[in-house]
């Protein structure tokens, strides 16, 4: 499976449009479209942005591993519910993210 098919497959599995993924990855929507149809090869930087946005390893995106190779900042593995929460949180705009953080803090008091 090549990177174009893998990218489209994981994007659709996550229920994201090309525009939504582009926003998460800080890329142009046309960049996602061109990669998915095989007209452009992603640069290393683009692969890194996509892997971070989708929470998978670059190796997974290029077909070098079968597992998502989930990455995170701490080096610890995340549970599936933590991954789902982080993924959903990243789809929110900054104001809504701040509201979620405030809500979580309020739950802890």
Sign of CA dihedral 17, 21, 23, 27: negative
**Residue-level pLDDT at 1:** 46
Mean pLDDT by 10 residues, the chain (109 residues): 84 91 93 93 89 85 64 53 75 84 86
Structure tokens at 26: 């800080």
DSSP 8-state code for residue 94: H
And the tokens for 57? 């390893």
Say if residue 56 is in the same domain as residue 24: yes
State the total domains in the chain.
Answer: 2
The verdict on 62 and 87 lying in the same domain is no
CATH number at residue 50: 1.10.260.40
- Claim to verify: residue 55 and residue 95 sit in the same structural domain: no
Dig out the tokens for 39 from the structure: 């007209």
| Angle made by CA atoms 7, 9, 10, in degrees to the nearest 5 | 70
Residues 7 and 57 in one domain: yes
Whether 61 and 29 share a structural domain: yes
- Which residue segment(s) compose the domain that 101 sits in? 77-109
């Amino acid at each position: 499976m090549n990177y174009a098919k893998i990218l489209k497959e994981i994007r659709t599995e996550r229920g994201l449009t090309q525009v939504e993924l582009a926003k998460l990855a800080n890329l142009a929507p046309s960049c996602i479209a061109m990669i998915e149809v095989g007209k452009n090869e992603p640069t290393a930087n683009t692969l890194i942005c996509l892997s971070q946005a989708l929470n998978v390893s670059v190796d997974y995106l290029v077909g070098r591993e079968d597992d998502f190779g989930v990455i995170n900042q701490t080096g610890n593995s995340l549970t599936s519910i933590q991954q789902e929460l982080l993924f959903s949180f990243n789809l929110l705009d900054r104001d809504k993210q701040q509201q979620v953080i405030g809500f979580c803090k309020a739950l802890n008091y």
